[in-house]
Chain A
Amino acid sequence: MKNYWWKILTVILLYYTLIGGLLINIPDLPNLEETARNLFFHVPMWFGMIILTTVSAFYSVKNLRIGTFKNDLKAVEFARGGLIFGVLGIITGMVWANFTWGEPWSGDPKQNGALIFLLIYSAYFVLRSSLKDEKQRGRIGGVYNIFAFATLIPLLFILPRITESLHPGSGDNPSFAVYDLDNMMRMVFYPAVIGWALLGTWIISVRVRIKLLNYTSEV
């Protein structure tokens, strides 16, 4: 129970998200209509990605300071998980945009920023695979990971806000104010973010353990 309570919490939170997300009454927003329910599924992908990449950057810092194999391994796997969440976010975003903004890719600054971030982030794996020495891979990869993570803030939060964007929270749009009117949506949204991020962490932790086993059996 001590170690797996959060796994139970993941299951509970995601079922809560599913049932609450599809059943609660949502405000009748123009254009969005029922698609506003994507707030519980599409948006947590991005929040999840931010959480997972933050953890990854944390382990990269730890790896640079202490330099153990385990920290580097965690940094890589959390980065991979974050990237997968981001890819899912961009695909679901395109589906959603197709039916609300009229086309899957409208060159919206937040869409572009997210894509640029994903490209920068995937270069982390390219860089790693190009280095053969394990220690070098961990150190150089770690430095790159921290810089790649740092680009997230201007690309996803600052640039879309200072230009016109279709996403909420840009130009003169309020960010969550539209949804904030409805406390019911908030009550599903926050647990949804935690639930999806925990699911990512769960899958990542299994992958980390497999790789650790692989490593210990080789040594």
Chain B
Amino acid sequence: MKKIIGLLAILILNTVQAFSQATDAEMQSCFDLRASGKIYVVITVIGIILAGLFLYLISTDRKVRKLEKKIKK
């Protein structure tokens, strides 16, 4: 468990680093361009689709677990 938390921490730190790098002028212009290109809309749309698929997969996973418990009995 500690290892996993460590891994997650590294990942999150990396993200923070990635976005903090984005503050220099060159990157900033790139980010503004994305904003005007409405790329965030696309990210939200794909994000919702991913969320839906994950929920679907999780519910299937749970149903199988229930069946496993039922059959064990």
Contacts and interface: CB of A to CB of B under 8 A. Distances in A.
Nearest to A184: B18
A131 interface: no
Chain A facing B: main interface SS: helix
A2 B2 CA distance: 12
Contacts of B42: 22
A213 B50 contact: no
Interface in A64-115: none
B14 A187 contact: yes
Contacts of A202: 57, 61
Contact of A12 (B8, B67, B71): B8
A5 B47 contact: no
Contacts, number: 59
Contact of A16 (B15, B21, B31, B34): B15
Contact of B50 (A1, A5, A18): A18
Contact of B18 (A5, A12, A15, A187): A187
Interface in B8-39: 8, 11, 14-15, 18, 21-22, 26-27, 30-31, 34, 39
Interface residues of A, number: 29
A210 interface: yes
A14 B71 CA distance: 33
B43 A19 contact: yes
B57 A203 contact: yes
A216 B69 CA distance: 13
Contacts of B57: 202-203, 206
28 contacts: A1-B1, A5-B1, A5-B4, A11-B54, A12-B8, A15-B50, A16-B11, A18-B43, A18-B46, A18-B47, A18-B50, A19-B43, A19-B47, A20-B18, A22-B39, A22-B46, A23-B31, A23-B34, A23-B39, A23-B43, A25-B22, A25-B26, A25-B27, A184-B18, A202-B61, A213-B64, A213-B67, A216-B71
Interface of A: 1-2, 5, 7, 9, 11-16, 18-20, 22-25, 184, 187, 191, 202-203, 206, 209-210, 213, 216-217
